[in-house]
């Protein structure tokens, strides 16, 4: 059923606000990570630390992921039309793919630089500055990570959560640079490139988690707890005798649902319609990110009739009664 109250429209307005909140998070994160990357790049030029270089590359890549996310949130605001009948919310999933590819590219570059430094050792200078840059990298990334993850979970954006997880690991890899600086100060020349390789391994772990999150969203995966909540909400509606299949999918950071409910077979069309509307409202109220639901009414099968209760099976017409032979003779 289509929405029959302002409640569903309120959810659409909430989705628009969520897009604006996502945009604000993206651009503020870009500013913080841009400043962090600039500080680290200056110190990389002074010190020649390959571990810090890997961290700087990854921070720069993380900052640049704001671009596809920003484009996705702008596209997501566009209204649905006859070609894109569900709107443009899927742009966020495409942004998630771009983020995963960016993480993969940054891990490859960091690994290359670390291996090259192992094969061609080079002294690292200004160790105090390297340590300072590591602390700056951790502080900037952790702030951005918390902000992105909190906003992403609140508005239901898998791409923003994945980007937040990306930033969080960047923070810990920044701390790893401290270990490289300490090892170098103690005379272990290979400490810096070895830490660079450890940073690469950490980036690959983030890549796995982010790819899994984006893949699930692309495959229309939802938390099973949401399905349980939806089923219980439908069963709590007075007049609903049972619940059939419940399906949900994310479109950007908004949910849509389809559900089958079992009702009394003797209800009038008007009453069954009203019950479906009530079920829709119950779903929208129970699931905060749900903006629309389609509810189909069905009735329980009658005894001995395997087709009863299946909406796509029309009742077969009754056979015409056979008249007696004498009756047919007198009434041709």
pLDDT of residue 45: 86
- Return the domain boundaries, the chain: 6-218, 224-306
What local confidence, expressed as pLDDT, does residue 331 receive? 43
**pLDDT value of residue 302:** 60
Alpha-carbon span 141 to 158, nearest angstrom = 19
**What sign results for the dihedral spanned by CA atoms 7, 9, 11, 14?**
negative
Residue 214 · residue 69 · CB < 8 Å = no
Predicted local distance difference test score (pLDDT) of residue 13? 42
The pLDDT assigned to 8 comes to 41
**DSSP letters for 203-251:** HHHHHHHHHHHHHHHHTT---HHHHHHHHHHHHTSTT--EEEEEEEEEE
Residue 229 CB contacts under 8 Å (≥ 6 apart), including other chains: 286, 287
**Residue 301 gets which letter from DSSP?**
P
CATH of 224-306, one of 2.60.40.3500, 3.40.50.150, 3.30.70.1350, 3.40.1160.10: 3.30.70.1350
Predicted confidence at residue 332, as pLDDT, reads: 43
Show Cβ contacts of residue 137 under 8 Å, excluding neighbours closer than 6 positions: 36, 40, 55, 56, 59, 170, 171, 173, 174, 177
Distance CA 57, CA 271 (A): 63
For 314, the token pair is 């029309």
Give CATH for domain 6-218: 1.20.1510.10
The residues of the chain scoring below 70 in pLDDT are 1-19, 121-124, 158-159, 302-332
Gap between the Cα atoms of 315 and 229, Å rounded: 34
């Amino acid at each position: 059923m289509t929405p029959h109250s302002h409640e569903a429209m309120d959810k659409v307005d909430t989705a628009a606000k969520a897009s604006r909140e996502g945009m604000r998070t993206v651009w503020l994160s870009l500013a913080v990570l841009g400043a962090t990357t600039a500080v680290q790049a200056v110190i990389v030029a002074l010190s020649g630390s390959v571990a810090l270089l890997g961290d700087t590359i990854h921070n720069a890549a993380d900052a640049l992921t704001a671009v596809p996310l920003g484009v996705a949130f702008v596209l997501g605001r566009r209204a649905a039309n006859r070609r894109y009948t569900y709107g443009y919310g899927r742009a966020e999933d495409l942004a998630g793919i771009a983020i995963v590819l960016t993480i993969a590219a940054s891990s490859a570059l960091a690994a290359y630089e670390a291996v090259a430094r192992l094969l061609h050792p080079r002294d690292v200078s200004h160790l105090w500055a390297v340590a300072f840059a590591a602390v700056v990298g951790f502080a900037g990334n952790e702030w951005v990570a918390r902000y992105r993850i909190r906003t992403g979970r609140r508005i239901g954006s898998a791409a923003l959560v994945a980007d937040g997880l990306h930033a969080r690991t960047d923070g810990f890899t920044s701390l790893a640079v401290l270990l490289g600086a300490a090892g170098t100060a103690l005379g272990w020349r290979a400490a810096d490139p070895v830490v660079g390789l450890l940073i690469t391994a950490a980036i690959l772990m983030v890549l796995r988690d982010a790819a899994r999150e984006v893949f699930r969203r692309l495959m229309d995966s939802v938390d099973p707890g949401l399905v349980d909540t939806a089923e219980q909400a439908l069963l709590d509606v007075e007049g609903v005798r049972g619940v059939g299949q419940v399906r949900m999918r994310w479109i950007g950071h908004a949910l849509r649902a389809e559900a089958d409910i079992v009702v009394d077979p003797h209800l009038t069309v008007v009453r069954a319609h009203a019950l479906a509307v009530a079920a829709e409202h119950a779903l929208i109220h129970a699931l905060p990110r749900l903006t629309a639901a389609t509810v189909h009414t069905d009735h329980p099968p009658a005894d001995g009739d395997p087709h009863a209760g299946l909406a796509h099976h029309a009742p077969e017409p009754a056979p015409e009664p056979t008249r007696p032979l004498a009756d047919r003779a007198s009434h041709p």
